[in-house]
Amino acid sequence: MALLRQGFRIRWSNDISDVACQTYRDNFKSPRIKTGGIASFKKFPRAQLLVGCYPCQGYSQGGKRNWGDSINFLYREFDRVLRKVKPKAFVVENVNGMAFGESRTLLENQLRRYRMAGYRVKWTVLNARDFGVAQNRKRVFLVGVRSDLKLEYNFPEPTHGWGRKKPFVTQRDVLGGLPRWPAGEFNTEPFHWYYLSRNRRMPWGKQSPCIVGHWRHVPLHPLSPPLKRIDTDHWKFSRKGRARRLSYRECALLQGFPRSFKWKRGTVRERFQMVGNAVPPPLFEAVLRGLSRIWR
CA–chain centroid gap for 276, Å, is 7
With a threshold of 0.85, does the pTM exceed it? yes
Query: What is the set of domains in the chain, with CATH numbers?
Result: 2-164+280-295 (3.40.50.150)
Question: pLDDT by residue (tens digit) across 86-109?
Answer: 999 999 999 988 888 877 888 999
Catalytic residues: 56
The pLDDT value recorded for residue 72 is: 75
Mean pLDDT (the chain, rounded): 93
Q: What is the rounded distance in angstroms from the CA atom of residue 296 to the CA atom of residue 281?
A: 23
Q: Is the pLDDT of residue 150 over 80?
A: yes
Return all residues near 123 (Cβ < 8 A) that are at least 6 apart: 99, 107, 111, 140, 141, 142, 143
The pLDDT value recorded for residue 169 is: 98
Burial zone of 55 (CB within 10 Å; 0-12 exposed, 13-18 middle, 19+ buried): middle
Confidence of residue 232 (pLDDT cuts 50, 70, 90): very high
Q: What is the rounded distance in angstroms from the CA atom of residue 51 to the CA atom of residue 90?
A: 5
**Which segment of 20-34, 69-83, 111-125, 181-195 scores lowest on mean pLDDT?**
69-83
Question: pLDDT by residue (tens digit) across 23-78?
Answer: 999 999 877 899 999 999 999 999 999 999 987 666 655 555 555 566 778 999 99
Q: What is the rounded distance in angstroms from the CA atom of residue 91 to the CA atom of residue 123?
A: 10
The pLDDT value recorded for residue 98 is: 84
Amino acid, single-letter form, for residue 81 = V
The pLDDT value recorded for residue 231 is: 96
Helices 104-116 and 75-85, packing angle to 10 deg: 10
- Candidates 187, 133, 196; CA nearest to 159 is 133
